[in-house]
């Protein structure tokens, strides 16, 4: 009977986990439908947590009156009703209202079963109990990933979870006689005589305060990672809602496996040894997550440093950086790495959609600083041309691109592309500043007494009337001349860098093609004279 009752208890803890992961996986779609801010999920979570705390702190009094079996069954059915209410939510405030019975039911189940298992079973059973909670929180993301993009949407996920809760609650009602048969009448009488300690006395129990702090830390991590991971993947990583929900399931899978392993370890280690080992693993995993999550920042920081410090075959030096950045206003940067056959375009594309750009478009920039680093697989002229030409197509043909390339052994077959764009709307900025200066001057002098000075016109003054079409044509020719001059300058700079790159590829022992170099220089001189 004790084994059969243990199966029922494990089933109850599965029901405890089912509601906990629903809101987070559904929120990327849910908040848009309800028309509320993204952060509003916190309000629902806080209300649910407060209700959970309230029922947990009063669970001893309820258990002493009703018993663990009845408290578990009725609380599970209460959560089923709350989940059904969530599925019919037409407003955010109704959802907040449904969070209260959901939290009340969850708090009672959690406290009652943890108390019962700690009294009648060992630490291994307790760890396995929480492992089944992990199974429960895995169920909801999977359900939500299946239905969230269907006709029923997130409401279908809540209704399915409500049905599961109602089914488990019904099984718990049918299993009520097991609670008497498994551990005898003495266990029931002990629950009725349960002594309720105030919080002040509870915290004086040796290890109680430390246990509470550890549990607080763990719950905070669990709620943040589990509740917001789907939203992060949809909003920041542009995943689909169903794929984000499925990815969240793997987080809870890891949690379930960890609790299973702690149950196995509990046979050989003390509880405090397991706690210290678990906190160490948690610290390492969190650090790894932070480092991997900031991979973009790592690449960006390395790219900035390498522009100036790494000696390349065609260097982008500090003078290039200064010429691009000086008096250029806002600067936007993107950096990315790629490998494989299409690494050049992939690295450039990822750099231009990098989170560092914060959804800003570099179109309209007048200056581009481009740095390309490779590892064991050298960058080719085709790749360089592909990247520079693609940049000009995206930004504008008149953009001034200063590029460099070098080698970094740590990259392997990867190609790293760093793009710094500056010179956005400089002319408009200067025009605006000049206009503001004129307005300020006019405003300052308007308060003064007006003064007029009349001077005689020269005798040879001639009035010339010009056709507007002629003025427009003159302006067009002037702009064309400026663009041609700029294009010639860019071509000279590009030819210079290509020469340096080609010389670097020939090696130090090969005699350079002096005649070819001389021909290019002569051609450049003639183009300059034109």
State the chain's mean pLDDT as an integer: 76
Specify the pLDDT at position 163: 93
Specify the pLDDT at position 301: 55
**pLDDT at residue 97 greater than cutoff 90:** yes
Q: Confidence class of residue 296 from pLDDT cuts 50, 70 and 90? A: low
pLDDT digits (tens, 9 = 90+) for 315-352: 555 555 555 555 556 677 778 888 888 898 888 888 88
CATH number of this structure's domain 296-422: 3.30.1330.20
Specify the pLDDT at position 356: 59
**pLDDT at residue 377 greater than cutoff 50:** yes
**pLDDT at residue 147 greater than cutoff 90:** no
Specify the pLDDT at position 128: 83
**pLDDT at residue 434 greater than cutoff 60:** no
- In the predicted model, what is the mean pLDDT of residues 461-476? 61
Domain boundaries, the chain: 2-293, 296-422
- In the predicted model, what is the mean pLDDT of residues 505-517? 50
Lowest mean pLDDT of 81-95, 481-495, 507-521, name the range: 507-521
Specify the pLDDT at position 160: 92
Under DSSP, is residue 75 helix (H, G, I), strand (E, B) or coil?
A: helix
Comparing 482 with 23, the larger pLDDT belongs to 23
* Structure tokens that stand for 33 in this block: 């439908």
**pLDDT at residue 409 greater than cutoff 70:** yes
CA distance 261 to 265: 6
Q: Confidence class of residue 79 from pLDDT cuts 50, 70 and 90? A: very high
Comparing 423 with 44, the larger pLDDT belongs to 44
Q: Confidence class of residue 369 from pLDDT cuts 50, 70 and 90? A: confident
Q: What is the DSSP letter of 377?
A: S
**pLDDT at residue 130 greater than cutoff 70:** yes
Q: Check: pTM over 0.75? Answer yes or no.
A: no
Specify the pLDDT at position 310: 53
Q: Confidence class of residue 98 from pLDDT cuts 50, 70 and 90? A: very high
Comparing 296 with 177, the larger pLDDT belongs to 177
Comparing 265 with 441, the larger pLDDT belongs to 265
User: Strand 332-338's sheet: what is its strand order?
Assistant: 332-338, 415-422, 367-374, 400-407
* Structure tokens that stand for 330 in this block: 């806002």
The answer to whether 241 touches 29, Cβ cutoff 8 Å, is yes
* Structure tokens that stand for 111 in this block: 């406290």
CATH number of this structure's domain 2-293: 1.20.1250.20
Specify the pLDDT at position 452: 43
**pLDDT at residue 471 greater than cutoff 80:** no
pLDDT digits (tens, 9 = 90+) for 228-240: 888 888 887 777 8
Specify the pLDDT at position 99: 92
Q: Which residues contact 289 (CB under 8 A, 6 or more apart)?
A: none
Specify the pLDDT at position 159: 92
Q: Long-range CB contacts (< 8 A, 24+ apart) of 30-36? A: 30/154, 33/153, 33/154, 34/89, 34/91, 34/92, 34/95, 36/92
φ and ψ at 450, to 5 degrees? -65, 145
CA distance 462 to 460: 6
Q: What is the DSSP letter of 508?
A: S
**pLDDT at residue 193 greater than cutoff 60:** yes
**pLDDT at residue 363 greater than cutoff 90:** no
pLDDT digits (tens, 9 = 90+) for 208-221: 888 888 888 888 88
CA distance 325 to 220: 44
Specify the pLDDT at position 445: 42
Under DSSP, is residue 338 helix (H, G, I), strand (E, B) or coil?
A: strand
Q: Long-range CB contacts (< 8 A, 24+ apart) of 142-148? A: 142/245, 142/246, 142/249, 144/22, 144/25, 144/26, 144/242, 144/245, 145/25, 145/242, 145/243, 145/245, 145/246, 145/249, 146/242, 148/25, 148/26, 148/29, 148/241, 148/242, 148/245
Specify the pLDDT at position 315: 52
In 3D, which of 106, 119, 221, 205 has the Cα closest to residue 161? 106
């Amino acid at each position: 009977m004790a084994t059969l009752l243990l199966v029922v208890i494990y089933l109850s803890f599965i029901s405890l986990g089912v509601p906990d992961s629903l809101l987070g996986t559904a929120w990327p779609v849910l908040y848009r439908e309800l028309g509320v801010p993204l952060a509003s999920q916190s309000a629902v979570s806080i209300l649910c947590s407060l209700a959970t705390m309230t029922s947990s702190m009063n669970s001893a009094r309820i258990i002493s009156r009703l018993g663990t079996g009845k408290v578990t069954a009725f609380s599970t059915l209460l959560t089923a009703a709350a989940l059904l209410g969530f599925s019919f939510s037409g407003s955010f405030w109704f959802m907040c209202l449904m969070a209260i019975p959901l939290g009340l039911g969850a708090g009672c189940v959690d406290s009652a079963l943890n108390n019962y298992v700690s009294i009648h079973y060992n630490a291994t059973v307790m760890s396995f109990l929480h492992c089944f909670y992990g199974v429960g929180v895995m169920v909801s993301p999977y359900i939500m990933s299946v239905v969230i993009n269907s006709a029923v949407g997130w409401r279908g996920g809540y209704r399915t979870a409500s049905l599961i809760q109602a089914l488990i609650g019904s099984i718990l009602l049918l299993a009520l006689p097991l609670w008497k048969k498994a551990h005898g009448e003495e266990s029931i009488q002990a629950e009725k005589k349960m002594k309720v300690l105030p919080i002040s006395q509870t915290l004086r129990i040796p290890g109680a305060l430390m246990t509470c702090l550890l549990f607080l830390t763990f719950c905070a991590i669990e709620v943040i990672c589990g509740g917001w991971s789907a939203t992060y993947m949809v909003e920041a990583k542009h995943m689909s809602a169903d794929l984000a929900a499925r990815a969240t399931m793997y987080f809870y899978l890891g949690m379930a496996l960890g609790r299973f392993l702690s149950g196995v370890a509990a046979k050989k280690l003390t509880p405090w040894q397991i706690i210290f080992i678990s906190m160490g693993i948690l610290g390492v995993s969190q650090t790894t997550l932070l480092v991997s999550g900031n991979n973009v920042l790592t690449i960006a920081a390395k790219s900035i440093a390498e522009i100036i410090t790494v000696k390349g075959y065609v260097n982008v030096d500090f003078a290039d950086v200064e010429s691009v950045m000086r008096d250029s206003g806002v600067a936007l940067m993107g950096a990315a790495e790629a490998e494989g056959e299409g690494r050049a375009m992939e690295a450039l594309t990822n750099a231009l959609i990098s989170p560092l750009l914060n959804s800003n478009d570099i179109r309209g920039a007048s200056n581009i600083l481009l740095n390309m680093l490779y590892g064991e697989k050298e960058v080719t002229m085709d790749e360089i041309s592909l990247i520079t030409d693609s940049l000009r197509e995206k930004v504008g043909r008149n953009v001034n691109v200063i590029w460099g390339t070098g080698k970094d052994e740590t990259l392997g077959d990867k190609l790293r592309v760093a793009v710094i764009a500056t010179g956005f709307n400089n002319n408009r900025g200067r025009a605006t500043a000049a206009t503001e200066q004129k307005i300020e001057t006019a405003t300052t002098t308007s308060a003064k007494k007006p003064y007029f000075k009349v001077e005689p016109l020269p005798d040879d003054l001639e009035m010339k009337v010009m056709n507007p079409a002629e003025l427009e044509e003159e302006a067009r020719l002037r702009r064309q001349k400026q663009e041609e001059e700029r294009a010639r300058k860019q071509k000279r700079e590009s030819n210079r860098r290509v020469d340096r790159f080609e010389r670097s590829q020939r090696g130090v022992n090969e005699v350079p093609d002096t005649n070819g170099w001389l021909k290019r220089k002569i051609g450049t001189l003639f183009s300059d004279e034109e």
